[in-house]
A and B are shown apart, each in its own frame.
Chain A
Amino acid sequence: MHAFHEVLKAFFSPQSFRVALPDVWAGFQVNLKMMVVAEVLVLIFALAIAVIRGLPGRAAVPFRIVAIVYTDVFRGTPLILVAFLVGLGLPGLQLTVISSQSNFVYGITALTLVYTAYVTEVYRAGIESVHGSQRMAARSLGLSYWQALRYVVIPQAVRRVIPPLLNDFIGLQKDTALVAVIGVTEAALQAQNFSNKNFNFTSYVVAAVFFIFLTIPLARFTDHLIAQREMRERAQAV
């Protein structure tokens, strides 16, 4: 009974909850900002790289190689290492623009680098899942390679990959907490500061609650989309 009481006090103290809340909330707003900016950048860059990977012909080989190396490297490197390399490494270079950014910008950069690699693969799977006859039909109407991609292939590909895309974004949202390691004052770091000062872990729980409340609606929305698609596909199979 005593132990249980200790656990409650250390992790779920109402008093600490109230005191920690404002600072953690302030930190969480930084997470939200990083998330939104990184997600927008990831959506754009990943699509570009996925398209480059799919370019036909021998002339495009160097571009394809660059795209493949990029995805291999950044999918394989743990985010925390990328965060160190970007957040601690770039300032050390003493280059005018690159080395004088805020930790916030470095955090977004690290997140974007890593998640672009993941999402590129998601887009690529989507693009490859669009049957070749669609592209052929578009080309036979006189549309150029790029027009066929833009109006016929990509819209269908994107629709198909929205659920896995949202899954990756749930991952990205949580990983915004990881860039605390390079000193971005976000929710996890605020929680740690509080915890260090007060010898109480409730602040971490506060931060966790914020993340959970952000993730659940997105997870349910993703489930909903998947269920909807299954319904549609079953209807078509009849």
Chain B
Amino acid sequence: MSSSAFVELAGVTKRFGDLVVLRSVDLSVGEHQVVCLIGASGSGKSTLLRCVNLLERIEEGTIVVDGQTITNGKVDVNALRRKIGIVFQAYNLFPHMTVLHNVTLAPRKVLDLSRARAEASARELLKRIGLEDKADEYPDRLSGGQQQRVAIARALAMNPKLMLLDEITSALDPQLVAEVLSLVRSLTEEMGMTMIIATHEMSFAREIADKVCFLDAGVILEEGPPEQIFTAPQQERTREFLARIIEAGRL
């Protein structure tokens, strides 16, 4: 493993009671790298993401982010999360706040930016995602795709060094998926954002990922460049999974 990895998981095990969700997972994500996690629902993709920003505590193993071991219990959780943006499947926007307020809340309260500065950069961000005219709307007035783009902007407003995307298109109508994915694409192309993406969108993973990891029952069964995983998978389980996906018309 390269020493310049931005995120490094070693022997990570996570249990919920008797259920082992992650089983001694090793994963290395370099700076500016995009890693896609694929696998069936319940294979541990979301949990893995949540462990990286300590929304979940792990039982065994270590996670290093940006040169700092975050799993020894001494880390400042809030400081860590400032560096890591996460976007959820269900958007989780704050329904009682306008779009602008959603995006400026953390910069103002966590980074102590003045309202004027936070709003100026938030409007800039909203402009980039094509939603500047929705700044004063409430989330429930927006389509799912628009809400998810706002959620991405909200995470970006903290200038994170790492973005975690947790099945961000799974709750969207098919025609809304494209607008969200093209935004994610621009993050890699324009900003070189380091990202870990849990996704069911295989063609998207194939196009955007530097590395694809196939999770099965809490284990990274196979990892490699997208070409290899999608065209010449080594493991039987990976082949089965991809066959099912192709059957469902998603690749």
Contact = CB atoms under 8 A, between A and B. Distances in A.
Nearest to B164: A140
Given A134-B94, A137-B94, A156-B95, A143 B78 contact: yes
Contact of B88 (A133, A142, A155, A159): A133
Question: Which interface residue of B110, B140, B158 has the most chain A CB atoms within 10 A?
Answer: B110
B96 A156 contact: yes
B109 A151 contact: yes
A155 B53 CA distance: 26
Which of under 10, 10 to 19, 20 to 34, or 35 or more describes the interface residues of A? 10 to 19
Contacts of B96: 155-156, 159
Nearest to A135: B92
Give the dominant DSSP class at B's interface: mixed
A137 B96 CA distance: 14
Nearest to A131: B92
Interface residues of B, number: 24
Contacts of A139: 55, 81
Interface in A127-146: 133-134, 136-144
A152 B110 contact: no
Interface in B87-124: 88, 90, 92-96, 105-106, 109-110
Contacts of A236: 140
Contacts of A147: 109-110
Contacts of A159: 96
B110 A142 contact: yes
Contact of B105 (A133, A141, A144, A156): A141
B53 A140 contact: yes
A142 B94 contact: no
B79 interface: yes
Contact of A151 (B84, B105, B140, B158): B105
B92 A142 contact: no
Contacts of A151: 105, 109
Question: Which interface residue of B53, B85, B86, B109 has the most chain A CB atoms within 10 A?
Answer: B109
A151 B86 CA distance: 19
Contacts of B90: 133
B81 A142 contact: yes
B155 interface: yes
Contacts of B155: 141
B81 A141 contact: yes
A136 B90 CA distance: 12
19 contacts: A134-B94, A136-B55, A137-B88, A138-B94, A140-B81, A140-B84, A140-B85, A141-B81, A141-B155, A142-B79, A142-B81, A142-B82, A142-B106, A144-B78, A147-B110, A155-B96, A156-B94, A156-B95, A236-B140
Q: Which are the 3 A-B pairs with shortest beta-carbon distances?
A: A137-B92, A141-B106, A142-B82
Given A140-B86, A152-B105, 5 more contacts: A137-B92, A141-B106, A141-B154, A152-B94, A156-B96
Interface of B: 53, 55, 78-79, 81-82, 84-86, 88, 90, 92-96, 105-106, 109-110, 140, 154-155, 158
